[in-house]
A and B are shown apart, each in its own frame.
Chain A
Amino acid sequence: MNDVVSIRASLAGDEAHIVISGEVDLSTADTVLRQLEQAVAECGSAVCDLSKVTYIDSRGIRLLVHVARGMRERGGRFTVVAPKETVAGGVLRLTHVAELELA
């Protein structure tokens, strides 16, 4: 984990709870994707909290879509928490990404 972005994940039963904080951009996208896939690998559903994300661009959105699609294909569910007033909430609403389920 570096000082730009951090991912914390906890497991409650079959559901993973993940919190991403910091900046998701071209330089961190690969790390975030790897850790996120690890966190959701063993569970049936996951909730990903983006409230503490301070920067996320189209590359970040892309990796979230990638993870959500992977879970859905194996029958799981991936939900994103990103309130409207947060940075990530603004970006998600701007891009109208239908594939990401907002909590």
Chain B
Amino acid sequence: MAVGRRSWSTSGLTSDFADHAARLHDVTAGLAAAATTSEIADVVITQGIPALSARTGVLGVLEEQDELRFLRSVGYGDVFPERLSLDEPWPITAAVRTRTMVELRDVVERRAEYAVPERVWKASGQGTLVAVPLLIGNRPVGALGFTREESRPLSADERGLVETLANQAALALERAVLFEADHRAREQAEGLQRVASAVARAATMGDVATAVASEALAVLNASGVTVVLARASDPSVGDVLASRGLAAEHARSEPTVNLAGNTITAQSVRLAEPVYAESEQELESGSPESARVADSFGVRGIASLPLVVGDRRGAFSVLLSESRRFYPEERRFLELLARSCEQGLLRASLFEAEQAARTRADILGALAATLSGAVAVSEVGSAFLDNALRLLTASSGALLLLDEEQDTLNAVSVGGASPSRDLWLPSIPVDESYVTGAAFHQATSVAASTREELEANFPGTASGFGGSARSAYAGALKLGDTTIGAFGLVFEDERDVSVEDQRLLETMADLCAQAIGRARSYEMEHQIAHRLQQAMLPPGVIRHPGVEVAASYHAGTEAMEVGGDWYDTFSLPDGRIGLVVGDVVGQGIEAAATMGRLRSALAAYALYETSPAELMARLNHFGQGVGRVDFATACFAVLDPESGALTYTSAGHPPPLLVAADGTSRWLTDGSTEPLYGSETFDPVQATAHLQPGDLLLLYSDGLVERRGEHIETGLARLGEAARSLHNQPVHEICATLAADLRPAVEHADDIVILVVRRKWAARAVFQRVFPARPEELRLMRLELRAWLDDQELSRSDREAVVLAVGEACANAVEHAYVEAQAGDVSVELSMLDDSLVVAVRDFGSWRAVPHDDPDRGRGYEIMRALSERVDIESGPDGTIVTMYLPHGVDRS
């Protein structure tokens, strides 16, 4: 090309012949160098214009649809069309139609014979026009035209030059067209090859569509490609599987396509035929809808090919930013691409369906497995939600159950990672403005697949979640014919839940409802067992002046475990005290009932048999027979509060702990013997120990020391350390603190019993009096107390302090313990120890409610606390006991 132009510019115009020859040489050389049709046009026009002293020059190729496509137009500005139908009455089309050169002397003659827009005439100048067909043999392949400013007929030379130009251009064009077609064919073949291999690798429908769209974009030099497939659930809605170029921009704002509309894409889907709109005019006449969108994106042509994937339809659309005809081979290429796309999509859809089916089977399996072990309704709820959320990648969900009053749905479980999780209400009325309420009320599933639908149909849910829910799905939980609740899921995107997923959710909801039914009956059993257990345990602990005793039972955690742990304390006929803790292996009603039998039997045997070993042997025998005990452990100890002598046996039970008043401790392991499991050779041993005044004895069940995955020694060491640090505390506080601090922080913690006994310091003197709870009795009590105090070695201020403290406690009992008509007794007991005086004031009534802020009561307690080292107040169903520890020899002035 560059060579041609240079040789042309150096040739002179001195001799017509030399000039002619030189030009032909230049043209030939130029055309030989030109590889493409547009380069050919360039050479022909740039050579022709100066040679003919022309003002304008155009060259067009003839295309299949009897159209001239102009590769080059010089001198016209932008008024010359890109394409021109042969039907148009223009000189250049006449030249093609007649296969002969058209020469017109001037613009007058031109206007007289041809109808060409005035602006074209104007641009072409006033003079001579020549239009020549480009022929191969007699077949036109294009046309060439020049106009001159002056009116001068072509000379023979000029005519010869034009003919030669036309001949050479025709040959060159034919060659280039074939070459280009060949090149395109090769590119297309390669493109198809790449598509085939990309499609083969693509795992999902999206991957397939993307591979196809990318190749189409590259091979066709298109400005956008989009692949759309109709939904199985709603064939009028097409999902964009892939989009490239300008189409991607559009797809971001419109992720779905209305296939019921009249767009080019919708037409090709409906007609199941390719639809081509290759210019703005064709777009406008074919689909004003598409024309509008195309215009806003600068698109001037659309080709849309239908796709059939199983029973779903779709389309594959190519956007062009120039208006041009697709070559026949391009159309074939598009067809082949569409077939590749169909096959790939079909394979991927089958694969996806198989994957989805496998995932669904996995989810159902996982749910069934979890539910089989779930014993609490809340566990069932979260198992269901976890799997439902996983299935649909929903942002959050909740499971609600109808309450007993039948008018409210309460959320028993809420799940999901999104912040919308916190927007589920803890309870809602049975109201159809909520998606869950509607599902419950209609006893079926309901859905809102768009934000618009959500707002219109479920305003409660829509406003509750605000913008964080763009679609929602809910289903009913049915147990037999009864709807017991509903589940709801919300999504951050707009979506339809597929038919397959709906079916799966229904099955999951059925499993869930059945599990809830099971869990409810299990929870009921748990409650019964718990109540039974409570009923089996003694209402309180023994009261004895020589000991402080406290015991507590701590049920297994909120999970279901009610065990068979128990404790008991009782007086023996010889004045000693029996202390028991035990543990029946098993759970639920059966264990609680067994525990009750053992506890009663032990207390009964203890009336006749006070040797712990003998008693344990009887208990073992009892368990074998009427007691029906499979396996139990128990520790039984007998304490003489006067002497501190302790005899004990521990049948398979962890050893008692003795914490001395000085804070040292030791395990009482010598009395360890076999557990109670009906052994024929059961021969229990017992051992003795001694409790000094102030010493603490601790009996407990294994729940206090055992933790999963930990050696028992570690637990025992922990208990020993805690007990040593607490040994100065009141016994009931030791119970509470040990239970709170040592209970393992896990679900399914075992139940625990703790029994703590402290031997009191021996009293040097004791004052005891019981009087009727009447105000006038107070003075008499004080008189007797003063008389007793006078015999003690106490200062006057100590004596007055004791009288006041006892007076306050007794006045409280008289005033508050009994309903007036049923006045009972008040008991006062003082024990004189070496350095303190222990006062116990006890009543047997139930205190009437007293306002907490009563300043009078407050002042009374203030006085008691000011006078005592410690005040313990224990209230129970059978009365209240106030214990005060008053130091003596203290100056209170």
A contact residues vs B (CB 8 Å cutoff): 4, 23, 25-27, 55, 57-59, 61-62, 84-85, 87, 90-91, 94-95, 97
Residues on the A chain within 8 Å of B182, using CB: none
Chain B residues whose C-beta falls within 8 Å of the C-beta of A23 in the assembled complex: 779, 782
Query: Lowest 9 CB-CB distances: which A-B pairs, in order?
Result: A27-B775, A58-B860, A26-B775, A58-B859, A26-B811, A27-B776, A62-B856, A94-B866, A57-B807
Confirm or deny: B501 has a beta carbon within 8 angstroms of a beta carbon on chain A.
no
Cα distance A84–B779 in the bound complex, in angstroms: 23
In the complex, residue of chain B having the shortest beta-carbon distance to the beta carbon of A65: B855
Kindly report which residue of chain B lies nearest to residue A61, judged by CB atoms: B859
Question: A26 near B815 (CB under 8 angstroms)?
Answer: yes
Docked complex: B784-818 residues within 8 A CB-CB of A: 797, 800-801, 803-804, 807-808, 811, 814-815
B223 → A minimal CB distance (Å):
92
Residue of B nearest to A63 (CB): B856
User: Which residues of the partner chain A approach B804 to less than 8 Å between Cβ atoms?
Assistant: 55, 57, 90-91
The proximity string for B residues 771-784 relative to A, scoring 1 for CB distances below 8 Å and 0 otherwise, is 00001101100100
Set of chain B residues within 8 Å of A25, measured between Cβ atoms: 775, 778-779, 807, 811
Closest to B815 in A: A26
B893 touching A84 by the CB < 8 A rule?
Answer: yes
Chain B: number of interface residues, binned into ranges: 20 to 34
B775: A residues at CB distance < 8 A: 25-27
Q: Which of B779, B800, B862 contacts A27 (CB 8 A)?
A: B779
Supplied contacts A4-B779, A62-B856, A94-B867, 20 more A-B pairs, CB within 8 Å? A25-B778, A26-B778, A26-B811, A26-B815, A27-B775, A55-B804, A57-B808, A57-B811, A57-B860, A58-B808, A58-B862, A59-B860, A62-B855, A84-B893, A90-B804, A91-B863, A94-B866, A94-B892, A95-B863, A97-B859
Main DSSP-derived SS at the B contact region? helix
What is the distance, in angstroms, from A6's C-beta to the closest C-beta of chain B?
Answer: 14
Residue in contact with A95 in the complex, picked from B776, B778, B815, B862, CB distance below 8 Å: B862
Q: Which residues of A contact B782 (CB under 8 A)?
A: 23, 55
CA distance A85 to B776 in the complex (A): 27
21 A/B residue pairs, CB under 8 Å, sorted by A: A23-B779, A25-B775, A27-B775, A27-B776, A27-B778, A55-B779, A55-B782, A58-B856, A58-B862, A58-B863, A59-B860, A62-B856, A85-B893, A87-B800, A90-B797, A90-B800, A90-B804, A90-B893, A91-B804, A94-B892, A97-B859
B805 to A, closest residue via Cβ: A57
Shortest Cβ distance from residue B208 to the other chain A in the assembled complex, whole angstroms:
89
Q: B790: shortest Cβ distance to chain A, in Å? A: 14
A97 vs B779: C-alpha distance when bound (angstroms): 24
> B864: nearest residue on chain A (CB-CB)?
A58
- Chain A residues contacting B779 (CB-CB under 8 Å) are 4, 23, 25, 27, 55
Enumerate chain A residues within 8 angstroms of B808, measured Cβ to Cβ: 57-58
Chain B neighbourhood of A55, CB < 8 A = 779, 782, 803-804, 807
Residues of B within 8 A of A58 (CB): 808, 811, 856, 859-860, 862-863
Cα A59 to Cα B776 in complex, Å, equals 14
Q: A59 to B863, Cβ gap below 8 A?
A: no
Q: In the complex, A62 Cα to B857 Cα: how many Å?
A: 10
Instruction: Let me know if B893 and A95 touch, CB within 8 A.
Output: no
Q: A62 CA to B858 CA in the complex, in Å?
A: 11
Nearest-neighbor residue (CB-CB) of B866 within chain A = A94
Residues of chain A with a CB closer than 8 A to B776's CB: 27
Q: Which residues of A contact B800 (CB under 8 A)?
A: 87, 90
Residues in B neighbouring A62, C-beta threshold 8 A: 855-856, 859
